[in-house]
Every structure is written in C-alpha cells, then in structure tokens.
Amino acid sequence: MKQNPPNIVLIMADQLAPQFTGAYGHPFVKTPHMDALSARGAQFDWAYCNSPLCAPSRFSFMSGQLVTNIAAYDNASEFPSSILTFPHYLRVMGYNTCLAGKMHFVGPDQLHGFEERVTTDCYPANFAWTPNWELPDERIDRWYHNMDSVFEAGCAASTFQIAYDEEVSFSTKKKLVEYAGDRERPFCLVASFIHPHDPYVATPEWWNLYEDVEIDLPNNILDYDQLDPFSQRIMKGIESNNPKITEEVIKNARRGYYANMSYFDSQIGMIVKTLKETEQFDNTIIIITADHGEMLGERGLWYKMNFFEPSGRVPLIMAGPGIINRKVKSICSLVDVLPTLIDIGVQGGMEEPELVQAIDGRSLLPMATSDFEDGGEAIGEYCAELTPSPVFMIRRGDYKFICSEGDPPLLYNLEDDPEELDNLVGKKEFASILGEFEREAANRWDIDKIRTDVIAKQKQRHTLFKALEKGKVSHWDYNPPRDASTEYVRTHMDWKFATERTRIPPFKPSS
C-alpha cells in the first residue's frame, strides 16, 4: 500500500445475501457497480455476520467484539458508550469519521465515535423491541416479523425505506463533496442503507428492471416437519408455514428483493461517481458489506435470525489503492472489519493506536493485498427472539456447526453440501469432528451464565421502557444538527471564497 493514508468509504446494506448478487454468481440479478468493484478488488467469498439480526450484528461490526462479550443480544440491547469502536480508533489515528444512514444504535449515545452523523436513524433508539425469553413463544405483534412483507411485495412510488435511503444518498454525496474541499485529514465515511431489507417494495424504475425476467424459486422449500427445532420456531414465529404462500407470491417477493438489490447497487455507483468527480477516487479504499443476509424463501424461511448460508453470509468486497484483484477463500466475519480499518491507516503511515479492549477479529488486509490465506473462522451467536436459549455457530474449514441447548446439533460439510440438507450428526465417520466442535462449544460458551444474563437484561429493559414512557418523555432518536447561518452564502462570508471552496474540481484558468 502507498505510504499515504487512504480515505475509507464503507458502504453497508441491510439484509443483503451475497448469493443474490452478480458479483457472487447470481445468473440475472443486476449489480453492475458491485461487480465492477469486485472485478478490480478483493472479494471475500466466505464472510459471515456474527449475529443474524440488525443491531447485534452492527454492534459486533462496530466494536470488533462478539455479541456475548458486549451483551449486544437483540434489537433493543443498549450499545454502551464505554465500548470502543473503529471510529474511536480512527479518530485517534487522525481520521475524520462520519456516519450517513442506519446503524441501529440503542441508547442515548447515537454517535459511538463518529465525529459527525448527517442523518437520523430509521429505527427507534429505545428499548421498545425487547424480547422475553421467559415467554419465547409469545409474539410481539407490533414489531415481530410476519409474512406481510411477502404478501404485500410490489411496486410503489415511495415507502419510508425509499425516502430514508434517498436522504442517505443525498447526505453521502454532499459529505464527499465537502471532504473534497478540505483534505487536511483522511476520512472514513460509512454510508449505511436500509435496502434491500424487506418490505419487498420497489419504485417503478427498479421493479421494471425485472419485467421480462423469469424469477427463480428457492432451491429448497422445506415443510415444517423437515426443519430442525430452531427453524421450526422461526417458521412458526414469522408465520411462514402458510398455505396461501403460492409460487406466484414467492416470485413476486423475490422480484421486489432483486429490484431493491439493484437500487442499492445504484447507490454504490453514485458514490464511486462522486469520488471520481471530486478527484478522491484514486486514494480511497471502498468496502462493501452488509449486516446479515436474507433467506428469501429458502428452506421455507424468510428474513434472517438463523445461521444457514442465505441468512448468515454477507458480502465483503474491498477495492482501492494497494488492494489486488483476487477471490479470497479464507473464512472471515464482521468482527474482522475493525482491525482491518486500523491496519489500512497503519499501512498508510499512521501511528497504530493501542487496542485497550480485547478484539475478536483479525486484519484482512494481508489477504486483500497479497496471495496470503490464513484459513480463518467465523463465530456466530444469536440471543434474540424466537429462541429460549442462545444459538451458536462455528464455521471453520469445510464445516459449519450449529448448536443450542435443548436442540439437536447440526453439522454440515459446505464443500460437499452447500445447500445444508445433509446433517452429518449421527454418522459414524463424522463422530470425531462433531465431538471436537461440541467440546469447543462447551469450553467457549457458559450457556447458563449467558442465558441468565440475557433474561436479567431483558427484565431491566422492560421496566426501563415502561418508566421512560411515563410522564415527560425524552427521546434518544438522533436529530442531525444543522446551522443554516453557516451554509451556502451568508453576509459574514466572502462570496468569492465560498464559490472557490465549493467548486469541485476547482476552476483552472486557460493559459
């Protein structure tokens, strides 16, 4: 890498399974901008989230720590201000840091190390979405997933998600132009979009992109009695064991998802175009990822909340100065992002900060800048709704191991069985491999301690939410600051200075 600190633009999607992109081999989903970055950069083929749910996954991504190490159990878990994040470390190193878009922070701290946040979030910052493990079969109808997103998929002029992502898009472009006018420090900008997260509703431009396409059905649609117990709980919880879900309904929902995938891809294109127009492209590393995947009808399941490949895997593509073009086979996960970003700055000549909290990941930069492979692993933890006990995953080598107290374990060889249809548990030839995973899980996780802590924190948050909703309510939802007196042209400014600073690239008189 060049001894010149590169800028970093990290573009994050919500609920994007890499299997449904052109870059990762889908035959007809249109993602040309992602494909182009992959064609000139490093694509990690086996990247995973550390928890298949929005907030827990994002807290691991931000902190480089696993869910159970920071009590980031569910979508209403508080993300404490005392936990260090990659924006904290990058600021210590000298980076500008900015967040545009969703990060699902819960609690009064809505920055977590970012110097600036130029949009609000799209989801509540309070404890309203807290599950209850003492009543694991009880639906919280106000916010638990059901099949409405599938049955109501289609085309619309606008939705709250479309409006939100358009704001993220505008704010991201505006911030990139602002950075172009002030290059004293490198920047790390995170642009986090909510698409292609359900509901599967797209605007006509993107819906019509798939007008003449024969939409595919899921590879495997399993009945309730064919599923493992945890999957059965999910199917029951989201109400997907519904005879009204016809092939036409499934194809319609998948079309909406593909359309929104292409919409998200267009935002990648907008960011790349802006970087080129502002002459920042050549010194910017672009990273594409997501918080988790999407089942999209595979196995009869939708959305996420499990560790099967469509839900657990995420895209991870890096392109920019020093990054070589290759497909990386080593397994990795979102906790690896924090040390990777720090390493980018260090390799660019910046002083490495002291890591004062334990990090569960490692830098992926050596594999993005050379032919090096380290094999790697991915550790997953799920401690949210539709389960009464933690669910764990270990992905290493060809194998994936999933376990939860009270449920039979699952063991798959993904090299031989990429669809995860052949559970190897009970087969003598795999008994030693299963035993090794089970011993590792027993040593790694104290299930009783974790479950006790999850329930205790759920009770705390239920009571806190009731209390904070009484009387005068103070909301934690982020209000982006804006001072109109400093924008555009005002009387205290030199008009010529304002025009010169905001013209990108600057005017160059002809000789």
Helix (H, G, I), strand (E, B) or coil at 491: coil
- Catalytic, 332? Answer no
Q: What residues contact residue 271 under an 8 Å CB cut-off, 6+ apart?
A: 9, 11, 172, 173, 176, 191, 286
How far is residue 201's CA from residue 260's CA, in Å, rounded to a whole number?
8
Q: What residues contact residue 202 under an 8 Å CB cut-off, 6+ apart?
A: 155, 156, 256, 259, 260, 263
Annotate 268-298 with DSSP letters as a single string.
Answer: HHHHHHHHHHTT-GGGEEEEEEES----TTG
Question: Is residue 49 within 8 Å of residue 293, measured between CB atoms?
Answer: yes
- Let me know the angle formed at the C-alpha of 108 by 128 and 447, rounded to the nearest 5 degrees: 60
- Catalytic, 33? Answer no
Distances (CA, A) of 22 to 17, 28, 221, 238, 251: 11, 7, 23, 29, 18
Marked catalytic residue, from 49, 88, 98, 104: 104
Helices (H), 65-159: 67-70, 86-93, 148-151
Strands 201-202 and 154-155: parallel
As given in the structure block, the two tokens for residue 54 are 């929005």
As given in the structure block, the two tokens for residue 61 are 């991504």
Distances (CA, A) of 316 to 22, 247, 281: 13, 31, 19
Marked catalytic residue, from 33, 49, 54, 88: 54
Which amino acid is located at 388 in the chain? P
How far is residue 270's CA from residue 248's CA, in Å, rounded to a whole number?
33
Question: Is residue 234 within 8 Å of residue 386, measured between CB atoms?
Answer: yes
**Rg of the chain taking only CA atoms, in angstroms:** 23
How far is residue 55's CA from residue 13's CA, in Å, rounded to a whole number?
13
Annotated catalytic residues are: 54, 104
